[in-house]
Amino acid sequence: MPSKNEYIKLGYRNMRIVYMFAVVITILLGLSSRKYSQSLLPFVAQNAGDVMWAMMVYFGFRFLLVRKSLLTAIWLSFSFSFGIEISQLYQAEWINQIRNTLLGALILGIGFLEVDLIRYAVGIMFATVLDKMLPVLIHQRYIKRIAE
C-alpha cells in the first residue's frame, strides 16, 4: 500500500496534468472566441478573449507552482496580467515590432485599455473558483485513501 507521501506526490502530478489541460482548453476557447466572434453574443465576443487570457495565465501559474497556495497564484496572475497591460503604455519601436507579430500580440497585447483590467480580474476570479472546485471533483478519491 502506498504511503501518504506517495499519494501526495501522485496528487501533485495529477494536478499538473489537470492544469496543463486547463491551459490548453482555455487557449483553444480564447482563440475560438476571436475567430468565431460573429457567432457569439456581442458582449461575449468583446470580453471572452481577455477573460480567457487571464484564466490561462492563472492556470499556467498553478501548473508551474502546483505546491504553492491559491493566493500565490492569484497574486502572480494579477501582477503578470496587469503588468502586461500597463506595459502597453510603453510604445517604443522595438517592442511594437514584437507586438506586430501574431505571438507578440497574443502575449503582449497591442494597446492599453482600462476595461482589460476588469476582464483580467473576472478571468482570474473565475479560474480561481474553478480551481477550488477541482480538488472536490478530481482529488476526492486520493483524499479518501489518505484518510484511511
Residues of the chain above pLDDT 90, percent: 68
Q: How far apart are CA 76 and CA 83, in angstroms?
A: 10
- pTM equals 0.83
Residue 2 clears pLDDT 50, i.e. is over it: no
> Which residue type occupies 6?
E
- How large is the average pLDDT for residues 118-137? 90
- How large is the average pLDDT for residues 29-50? 94
